[in-house]
Structure 1
Amino acid sequence: MTDDIALKTLESMVAGRGKNISMDTRGAGSPKLAVIVTCWNYADYVTDAIESVLRQGRRDCELVVIDDGSTDNSWDEICRTGVRAYHIENAGQRLACLRGLQETTAPFVLFLDADDELLPGALTEVLWHLDKDVAKLQFPLLRMDARRRIMSGPVPPLSDFRERELLVREVLKTGYYTSPPTSGNVFRRDVCQLIEGADYERAVDGVILFVAPFMGDIISLSRPLGLYRVHDRNDSGFSSELNPIPLKREAERFEHRLEHLRSLLDKTGLGSRLVTANRAYFHQERSFYLAIANSARVGLRQLLFLLSLLWTYPYSAKVKLSMTVFFALTFMLSSERAKRVINYRLQAHSRSAMGLIRAIFRR
């Protein structure tokens, strides 16, 4: 089975899920895009997220807020905005997003985290690019702190492109491609609905990111269209000390996502070509960090295998070289210093050589 036929087979396999949804995104009389805001105990931020959508001035877009059983005053803050909202029993982001899908009808969906915001004109820019062949559109975000002060440039740095087959090959080879956090992605509805089968995790930005190239075109924009808030309650789990728990969780989630993706691709004949977790760069990188976080000795063979995967990864030569130096340096440092430099790398802030040096020699 050729790749082209396999891709069309996957498209037809899920087409029935969204067959009653109009895909004329430039037509009138029906919503073009749904923004689903999911909130859990973000009373300090959720109003900013909602108002950033309302300020877009797009009456052809749906907005619904799902409060995932908040125990603070998030629900009161949401109700004050007057938008359509639902308060549900706490079940995690994935199920909150599924409820949002049930309450909307637009052919494209943006899941906006309650502590993030859209920049002015974001939805107009997004809608200009969408058509029925687009499975996902992505754009970078600017990091801001809890007080809305900008902390960095576009994250991740993205280029402008419309691509499909190149990303299909990348996912098959590595299980990954560069993609923004949740709030920087717009999915076609039939792609979104595949999170229904992702019962192994609470988050939403998992398998649908990586199945999207198999279901249609990926549009990437270089211009930041949103703000990603960095604060002490982000769900990354990374803090002032290197914690093995979120690293283990990330590695396990990656394994489950690959197996879920493989089960979807098996129906097209491509499943056997998908990389296994133990030969994927992302998984080996997390395993390297996890070993150090657990104060285990990393062997030279493990380091060399990680570097061999790094140099087949679609990074620029400059990034590959800098990461090679980073891994080699971490390998040679004492356990405590190695933990500090890895934790520095994993934090959501701008990084620099000087910052890395400070992390090494910090007492």
Structure 2
Amino acid sequence: MTGSTSRLAVIVNCYNYADYVERAIRSVLAQGRDDFELIVVDDGSTDSSWEVIGRTGVTAYRIENGGQRRACVFGLDRTTAPFVLFLDADDELAPGALDAIIPRLGPSIAKLQFCLSRIDGDGNKLGSAVPEPDQIRVTGDLSERVRRTGVYISPPTSGNVFRRDLCELLRDADYDDAVDGIIVLAAPFFGEVVSLPKELGLYRVHDRNISGVGRAIDTGRIEQHMQRFKSLIAHLNRAVPAGSRPPQLDVERTFFYLEKRSILASIDRRMDRFRQLPNLIKVISADDFSPKRKLALSLFHILIAFLPVGMSRRLIEIRYRPERRSASALARTLIGTGN
């Protein structure tokens, strides 16, 4: 690892992940390259994380707890590398990951993304990757997709490498604690988004990183997601480079926002749920979903609007409850809901 001459900085952010952070660090050290640097930021952990980090001998900082985004910005200020990978302390890099990633990094690339193998707390594999390789191969103008829907297929935080100028947007994202919001959403407007359909990292699924497991659908949380999404779109409208600036994105015309509004109206049994259906189905029809997906989404929203409230809520819970959600659905909604 060569410090100031590194092409890539891997920043591990940790808060109370003493059980996992050493595995994350060791997975980076085991890459066996000298053209990257590793920085670990302990975000004021109250468990033994700092002691665990200390015994690895890596460059590490302990700061007052301020949330994931602030910890990552602190790490960003400790490197001048042109590309950054923010690795969550409960995730890992797969062997040979940087051999596949670093040669692909170039000035025109705003973001490089790759698949993550899902594992449990003990490291056992949990089936399909996130995103699934076939989904991440999808090509086309992702900036146009963001304009229409407000989302695109993207992995969780640890499956992305960002160009440094894109990371600078995090400094003005005071409305958000997550690091995978504005920079994921803005990436297609800043340059190329390169997708590697390979499982180059491990995404750990455990009882502390899946919010809402076992709970009924939470309307308050949906409203929080909608407000966060509005803030993200407002930030994007301000931040997109002048040379690639589209017309101002209208958050209330995106699939993400319309869908959440439809769900809330159906749960609350508001009469406007019927008026919202035509616009939502129109957006679904115009998207690049498969015909099967378009039919399923349209039928879902028709059913939740017309079924009795108990059945409607049950359908929504089945679709959105995290422990039932497929890896592909998780990947699709990360931008809107956080990780």
TM-score w.r.t. structure 2 length? Answer: 0.87
CA contact (8 A) 2:190 2:240 kept: no
Matched with 2:24 is: 49
Matched with 1:324 is: 298
Q: 1:92 Cα shift? A: 0.9
Matched with 1:101 is: 76
Q: One-letter code of the match for 1:287? A: R
Q: Distance in 1 between matches of 2:39 and 2:26?
A: 12
Q: Aligned pair in 2 of structure 1 residues 55, 338: CA closer, same or farther (>3 Å)? A: farther
Matched with 1:153 is: 128
Higher mean Cα deviation, 241-250 or 214-223? 241-250
Higher mean Cα deviation, 153-162 or 109-118? 153-162
Q: One-letter code of the match for 1:106? A: A
What is the percentage of aligned positions where both structures have the same residue? 46
Q: One-letter code of the match for 1:306? A: L
Q: Aligned pair in 2 of structure 1 residues 269, 115: CA closer, same or farther (>3 Å)? A: closer
Instruction: Answer yes or no: is 1:258 the counterpart of 2:233.
Output: yes
Q: Aligned pair in 2 of structure 1 residues 132, 38: CA closer, same or farther (>3 Å)? A: same
Q: Distance in 1 between matches of 2:100 and 2:252?
A: 39
CA contact (8 A) 2:136 2:153 kept: no
Q: Aligned pair in 2 of structure 1 residues 274, 170: CA closer, same or farther (>3 Å)? A: farther
What SS is found at the alignment partner of 2:5? coil
TM-score w.r.t. structure 1 length? Answer: 0.81
Q: 1:124 Cα shift? A: 1.0
Report the aligned-residue RMSD. Answer: 2.5
CA contact (8 A) 1:242 1:293 kept: no
Q: Distance in 2 between matches of 1:115 and 1:295?
A: 40
Q: Distance in 2 between matches of 1:77 and 1:292?
A: 48
CA contact (8 A) 1:112 1:182 kept: yes
Q: 1:266 Cα shift? A: 7.8
Matched with 1:336 is: 310
Higher mean Cα deviation, 204-213 or 141-150? 141-150
Unaligned runs of 5+ in 1: 1-26, 353-363
Of 91, 108, 133, the match for 1:116: 91
Instruction: Answer yes or no: is 1:306 the counterpart of 2:280.
Output: yes
Matched with 1:285 is: 259
Q: One-letter code of the match for 2:233? A: L
Q: 1:180 Cα shift? A: 1.2
Q: Distance in 2 between matches of 1:134 and 1:198?
A: 22
- Equivalent residue runs for 1:217-256 within 5 Å: 217-234=192-209, 236-237=211-212, 239-256=214-231
Of 16, 39, 62, the match for 1:64: 39
Higher mean Cα deviation, 333-342 or 174-183? 333-342
Q: Distance in 2 between matches of 1:329 and 1:226?
A: 38
Q: Distance in 2 between matches of 1:193 and 1:223?
A: 27
Q: CA-to-partner distance for each residue in 1:83-109, whole Å, 9 max, x for gaps?
A: 111111111111101011011222110
Q: Distance in 2 between matches of 1:49 and 1:131?
A: 26
Q: Distance in 2 between matches of 1:326 and 1:211?
A: 30
CA contact (8 A) 1:162 1:219 kept: no
Q: How many residues align?
A: 323
Q: Aligned pair in 2 of structure 1 residues 269, 33: CA closer, same or farther (>3 Å)? A: closer
Q: Distance in 2 between matches of 1:179 and 1:190?
A: 19
CA contact (8 A) 1:243 1:293 kept: no
Q: Aligned pair in 2 of structure 1 residues 148, 79: CA closer, same or farther (>3 Å)? A: same
Q: Aligned pair in 2 of structure 1 residues 114, 334: CA closer, same or farther (>3 Å)? A: farther
Q: CA-to-partner distance for each residue in 1:151-194, whole Å, 9 max, x for gaps?
A: 2312223344776xx12222233332221111111001111111
What SS is found at the alignment partner of 1:151? coil
Q: One-letter code of the match for 2:309? A: S
Q: Distance in 2 between matches of 1:348 and 1:192?
A: 28
Q: Distance in 2 between matches of 1:185 and 1:308?
A: 32
Q: CA-to-partner distance for each residue in 1:221-277, whole Å, 9 max, x for gaps?
A: 111211212222116445432122321221111100111111123845835x23311
CA contact (8 A) 1:173 1:274 kept: no
Q: Aligned pair in 2 of structure 1 residues 347, 145: CA closer, same or farther (>3 Å)? A: farther
Q: Distance in 2 between matches of 1:335 and 1:287?
A: 16
Q: Aligned pair in 2 of structure 1 residues 50, 242: CA closer, same or farther (>3 Å)? A: same
Q: 1:351 Cα shift? A: 5.2
Q: Distance in 2 between matches of 1:43 and 1:159?
A: 32
CA contact (8 A) 1:151 1:350 kept: no
Q: One-letter code of the match for 2:115? A: P
